[in-house]
Chains A and B, each alone.
Chain A
Amino acid sequence: MPAVVETHHLSYTYLPGSVYEHQALKDINISLTKGEFLGILGPNGSGKSTLAQHFNGLIRPTSGHMTVCGIPTSDPKLSKDLWKKAGLVFQYPEQQIFQITVFNEVAYGPRNLGLPEAEVAERVHDALQQVGITQGDINHLAPVTLSGGLRRRVAIAGMLAIQPEILILDEPMAGLDAAGRRLLSDIFKKRHEKKETTVMISHNLKEFMTVTDKIAVLDSGSMIFFGDVKDLLMRPEILGQYQLELPEYLQVVYRLAEKGFDIKTDISSMQEAGEEILRFLQENKHGDVTI
């Protein structure tokens, strides 16, 4: 399976040679195949957003090499059109809305692709459906009048309408309430099921527990880990050191395991955790204490 994204010793330095010089990325090596879901984790200042902007050619590597959909991002001419293949959704995307109607806002991307109006309309309709906006009359509404959660979905629809091969989202759940997060979570689950290549950046491990195929952990520009989620969960030193918050139900189970108790740690949901803890209590109350 050919890699749809590949980086080799990717490094990036802001304002090289000046007083403000800062190396944001050091020797990053990741690869992503078509249909995979990649999660990029790390605290603020780890270089996550800088890396995200390399995916669609906004930023070109200072050294090293990156290929996205077969296009080397270091080539200024070729990477100019990379936005059509790699769609980057920034944090708080609703802040970039500038059109008067929802329709025109979502149509902005497709129109920039030079598509005929009929196809633009189709794509807008399709994209809005994908983000769960089904009311027909929303096309004429002004985005300003909508709630924060709806505006975010409109902004994401604006990117989906471009139908990029890869979708990259920088902290898509930031600032949303429980309902908003659930809605977006469902959208990502659907993308994962349909094998649409996605990259999601976050500082919250809980957000990708059930969706991600691969995870990259960044800290101060360096890649601390790249691999499967399951492998990451078995590296408590990484989880602890970089303050990667495990879901609390996992924390309970892991801490019990750390204390030497015989408890299954291969848990993937709250329900399972509860049942496992109950089972564990039952067995140990009956005297089968295994330490």
Chain B
Amino acid sequence: MTGMKLGQYVYGNSLLHLLDPRTKILSCLLVIFSVIITNNLYFLLFLVVLMAAAIISSGLSYQLILSGLLKLRYLLLFTLVFQGFLTPGETVFMVGKLSMTREGLILGLINISRLVILFLGSMILLMTTSALKLSAGIECLLLPLRKLHIPIHNYTTILSISFRFLPTLFEEATIIKNAQKSRGAQFDSSNIVVRIKSYTAILIPLFEASLVRAADLGEAMDSRCFTSHPNQLRLNRLQIKRRDILFLIPMTAILGAGITISILL
């Protein structure tokens, strides 16, 4: 498990891995929308269970995801408590002058479920889709915006360059940190001012190197006649298959169910 980070793409062969990124992005949006609309706790809990099933069947590390959820526990708890005390209704118990209501608890659980679904959904998306495929999917879905003269391809180029340099930046930051440690910088000092000052000794050189890099990259790109263009190679690799269509059907059904439930109940 060492070295694997939460939200990092992990290679796999499950259905979710093989789906076109556009399908997955759209599904995410459908789920998000249905979650926002519904106020029905049972529906939301059903979605949580569905997500859990998807995680396990895709071979993703549920331990990693659970530990990520655990990091959110204060937020979730806060939501429950906040909602519980501030919602008027039938009192379940009292804490001093504050009254925890049944309606509040249910609302709190609803919001917790929403947060959990959003968390799980984004984790599933990120862990089954490589950064490249993801940005190709986003670029493809945003293509119609070109008609409005929005330079989509420039933004995806920026995104792409950022992905490319993330590991490099991380490596450079580590080297600079070690170099400054070798001169006595205290990164684990108990004094927070000292710690902050030490981190500026990493940030400033990193920033400077990035500025130089940006200038160099600009020249390298100009030397190859850079113009705003679609990333043909990447987009060409995206293909909608039958499984994508078949997957979207139940996803849309979920949204339909969500809307129906919220209208009827």
Contact = CB atoms under 8 A, between A and B. Distances in A.
Contact of A90 (B178, B185, B204): B178
Contacts of A113: 184
A53 interface: yes
Contact of A83 (B3, B175, B181, B204): B181
Given A58-B181, A58-B182, A96 B2 contact: no
B201 A112 contact: no
Contact of B179 (A17, A96, A144): A96
Interface string B1-21: 111000000000000000000
Contact of B184 (A19, A20, A109, A144): A109
A109 B204 contact: no
Contacts of B3: 15, 18-20
B178 A17 contact: no
A83 B2 contact: no
Contacts of A53: 178
B197 to A, nearest CB: 10
Interface residues of A, number: 27
Contacts of A159: 182-183
Contacts of A172: none
B257 interface: no
A158 B200 contact: no
Contacts of A84: 184
Interface in B180-217: 180-186, 200-201, 204-205, 208-209
A53 B177 CA distance: 13
Given A90-B175, A95-B205, A95-B209, A112 B183 contact: yes
Interface string A231-262: 00000000000000000000000000000000
A162 B179 CA distance: 14
A128 to B, nearest CB: 16
Nearest to B203: A98
B180 A96 contact: yes
Nearest to B212: A95
Contacts of B2: 15, 17-18, 20
A112 B209 CA distance: 24
B115 interface: no
Consensus secondary structure, chain B interface: helix
A211 B208 CA distance: 35
A18 B3 CA distance: 7
Contacts of B176: 95-96
A96 B205 contact: yes
A96 B184 CA distance: 13
Given A95-B176, A96-B176, A162 B183 contact: yes
B210 to A, nearest CB: 11
Interface string A12-27: 0001011110000000
Range for the number of chain B residues in contact with chain A: 20 to 34
Nearest to B194: A112
Chain B CB within 10 Å, residue with most, of A20, A53, A95:
A95
Interface in A79-119: 83-84, 87-90, 93, 95-98, 108-109, 112-113
Contacts of B185: 112
A56 interface: yes
Contacts of A112: 183-186
A30 B208 CA distance: 38
Contacts of B180: 96
B19 to A, nearest CB: 25
Query: Which A-B residue pairs are the 8 nearest by beta carbons?
Result: A112-B184, A18-B2, A98-B204, A96-B179, A109-B183, A90-B179, A88-B182, A18-B3
Interface of B: 1-3, 175-176, 178-186, 200-201, 204-205, 208-209
Given A83-B182, A96-B205, 8 more contacts: A15-B2, A18-B2, A96-B176, A97-B205, A98-B200, A98-B205, A108-B184, A159-B183
Interface of A: 15, 17-20, 53, 56, 58, 83-84, 87-90, 93, 95-98, 108-109, 112-113, 144, 158-159, 162
15 contacts: A15-B3, A17-B2, A18-B2, A90-B178, A93-B179, A95-B205, A96-B176, A98-B201, A98-B204, A98-B205, A108-B183, A112-B184, A112-B186, A159-B183, A162-B183
